């Protein structure tokens, strides 16, 4: 079974091991204990993603980050979510009739570098190819991933660059929310949200249409 945990639930998993008194809801502590037991028994996979990496290096004090990173590394078993932008591209291509629908085995992989694949790499490259060279790549990748996850913070220039990208994206949607508050009306907010989403991924849609060989007929 594959279970993808949001960062808030990874925090609970870490607290269940090192500071159980911080988990205020008894049911959440019970759930964390049960999940740890299933991880140790090999019954579940708890994959990590590039988002977990970014959120962990922003996670407060050095000790808190270390406890969180150690919990993740103990539980993830080498499994990651493939880069979400790559997954989104393939889902759009599939939706436009240009490829197969994605399954869990496509999205979650133990291949080296899976969470950091870029646009130029196809999803099929997440598949594993056994052999000594692949085993070495996996071992090196695990070491690099572990060091990145445990790292105290991003270098100053990288932190500034990532924060700027996040701020630009957030400002776009904050502007839409502010407009809706200041201009109330009888509108279907689902359609407004859908329109904003399409605008956000228009380049991906164009690329997916091209791959699926869809044109405007001109």
pLDDT single digits (tens) 119-142: 444 555 555 455 556 677 778 888
Mean pLDDT, rounded, of the chain: 80
What distances in angstroms separate CA 36 from CA 31, 107, 150, one per listed residue?
Answer: 9, 23, 20
Helices 62-75, 26-40: crossing angle, 10 deg rounding? 50
Model pLDDT, residue 153: 62
Q: Taking the mean position of all CA atoms in its chain, how far away is CA 145?
A: 14
**46-50, 69-73, 189-193: segment of lowest average pLDDT:** 189-193
The residue assigned the tokens 């405007």 is 216
Model pLDDT, residue 26: 93
Contact 122, 42 (CB under 8 A): no
Cα 15 from Cα 25, distance rounded (Å):
12
The residues, any chain, with a CB within 8 Å of residue 167's CB and separated by 6 or more, are none
Model pLDDT, residue 152: 62
Model pLDDT, residue 95: 82
Cα 108 from Cα 79, distance rounded (Å):
7
Biggest CA–CA distance in the chain, Å, is: 65
Model pLDDT, residue 121: 44
Question: Per residue in 36-62, pLDDT tens?
Answer: 999 999 999 899 988 888 788 776 677
pTM above 0.85, yes or no: no
Q: Which residue has the higher pLDDT, 18 or 166?
A: 18
Reduced DSSP (H G I as helix, E B as strand, rest coil) percent helix, strand, coil of the chain, to 5: 65, 5, 30
**Is residue 5 helix, strand or coil?**
coil
Structure tokens at 16: 């269940």
């Amino acid at each position: 079974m594959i279970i993808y945990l949001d960062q808030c639930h990874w925090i609970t998993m870490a607290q269940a091991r090192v500071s159980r008194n911080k988990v205020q809801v008894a049911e959440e502590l019970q759930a964390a204990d049960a999940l740890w037991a299933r991880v140790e028994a090999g019954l579940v996979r708890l994959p990590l993603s590039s988002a977990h990496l970014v959120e962990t290096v922003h996670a407060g004090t050095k000790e808190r980050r270390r406890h969180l990173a150690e919990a993740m590394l103990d539980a993830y078993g080498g499994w990651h979510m493939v880069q979400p932008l790559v997954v989104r591209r393939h889902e759009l291509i599939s939706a436009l009739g240009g490829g197969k629908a994605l399954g869990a085995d496509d999205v979650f992989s133990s291949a080296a570098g899976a969470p950091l694949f870029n646009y130029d790499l196809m999803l099929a490259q997440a598949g594993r190819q056994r052999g000594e060279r692949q085993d070495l790549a996996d071992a090196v990748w695990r070491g690099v991933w572990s060091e990145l996850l445990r790292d105290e913070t991003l270098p100053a220039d990288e932190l500034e660059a990532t924060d700027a990208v996040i701020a630009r994206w957030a400002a776009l949607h904050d502007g839409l929310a502010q407009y809706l508050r200041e201009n109330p009306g009888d509108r279907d907010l689902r359609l407004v949200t859908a329109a904003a989403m399409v605008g956000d991924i228009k380049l991906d849609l164009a690329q997916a249409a091209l791959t699926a060989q869809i044109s405007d007929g001109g």
